[in-house]
Amino acid sequence: MSDAVEPLILDLLEWVAAGERDYAEVMEAWRTSCPKLPVWEEANARGLVTRIVRDGTPRVAITEAGRTLLEGTGRCATAGNYIYQVNIQTDNSNKPID
Whether 94 maps to a domain, the answer reads no
| Distance, CA of 49 to CA of 12 (rounded, Å) | 9
| Distance, CA of 61 to CA of 21 (rounded, Å) | 7
| Distance, CA of 50 to CA of 31 (rounded, Å) | 14
Whether 77 maps to a domain, the answer reads yes
pLDDT for the residue 3: 78
Range of the domain at 79: 5-83
CATH number of the domain to which 9 belongs: 1.10.10.10
pLDDT for the residue 74: 80
Whether 90 maps to a domain, the answer reads no
Residues 15-48: tens digit of each pLDDT: 999 888 999 999 888 887 777 778 898 999 999 9
The residue type at 79:
A
Prediction pTM value: 0.70
Q: Please state the domain count of the chain.
A: 1
Q: Which secondary-structure segment (H or E) carries 58?
A: strand 57-62
| Distance, CA of 94 to CA of 98 (rounded, Å) | 12
Whether 98 maps to a domain, the answer reads no
